[in-house]
Amino acid sequence: MTPAEARKRFRAGLSAPTAGWAPGRTQANLIAVPADWAYEMLLFCQRNPKPCPVLDVTDAGSWTTPLAPGADLRTDLPRYRVWEHGELVEEPTDVVAHWRDDLVAFLIGCSFTFEWSLAAAGVPLRHIEQGRNVSMYVTDRPCRPAGRLRGPMVVSMRPVPPMHLAAAIRESSLLPAVHGSPVHCGDPAGLGITDLDKPDFGDPVDAEADDIPVFWACGVTPQAAVMASRPPFALTHAPGHMFLTDARDEQYRVA
């Protein structure tokens, strides 16, 4: 299925996590904030490039992006979250009624993008094998603040067999625009995570006995910043329910 076909289905109301969709095409996190918060959001992303690698920023009020000509950011994601003063108030499948003329939308790289490189290098992807959303956790590592925006780093976790660890690190390192190399491997306590079976977002995923938990910075981090910083209004994707762009993962590979 092409990204345009997938977006058409989501526009028609289908809701599903997008891991494994549209092979080789770049998936993106969405966060839209009022224009008077846009500089702080862009600065927050610049200061925290591993969780928040920016792929595109729209002009205020625009719902289009050169990353996906013809797409409508208000309708083409499988599920959204609507935030008021840091509180989640709704999880609709479109945000046409919530859109505002002063919204600036940020598209942020997503680790689903490097999963194809991992798979091609032989790394098993447990959450896709098990038909689940990836596991995501709020960590005890603070992001570097920017003006009114602050919050903890969020990570995604994939259990990786030891023999595949080198390939997982190497392949993701070459895609810095979509979170790049892992931020942590092994004991979840190193990130302040107490129980891998209770992710803060997404689904728990079954690991094999000797799998090593590998943690990558996650584009849900701006949502954690919204929760901590309480801007009056924000729209985001629902975790794991990404925007499918037409961009090819290859164009973000540095070597």
Backbone angles phi, psi at 94, to 5 degrees: -150, 165
Q: Are 163 and 208 in contact (CB under 8 A)?
A: no
The rounded distance, in Å, linking the Cα atoms of 134 and 127 is 6
Q: How far is the CB of 206 from a second copy (least distance, A)?
A: 30
Q: How far apart are CA 183 and CA 162, in angstroms?
A: 17
Smaller CB separation from a second copy, 6 or 175: 175
Of 209 and 255, the one with the shorter C-beta distance to a second copy is 255
Spatial separation of the C-alpha atoms in residues 138 and 136, rounded to whole Å: 7
Query: Least distance in Å: CB of 112 to a second copy?
Result: 19
Q: How far is the CB of 156 from a second copy (least distance, A)?
A: 19
CB of 251 to a second copy, least distance (A): 12
CB closer to a second copy out of 176 and 188: 176
Crossing angle (nearest 10°) for helices 38-47 and 221-229: 130
Binding site for a second copy (CB under 8 A): 38-39, 42-43, 46-47, 54, 57, 170, 173-174, 176, 180-181, 254-255
Secondary structure in 3-state letters for 182-200:
CCEECCHHHHCCCCCCCCC
CB nearer to a second copy: give 2 or 46: 46
Identify which of residues 93 and 173 has a Cβ nearer to a second copy in the complex. Answer: 173
Give dist(CA 214, CA 112) in Å, integer: 14
Decide if 54 contacts 42 (C-beta within 8 A): yes
Report, in Å, the least distance between residue 194 CB and a second copy: 30
Rounded CA gap, 243 and 73, in Å?
Answer: 8
Q: Which is nearer to a second copy, 199 or 219 (CB)?
A: 219
Amino acid at 81: R
CB of 46 vs a second copy, minimal distance in Å: 5
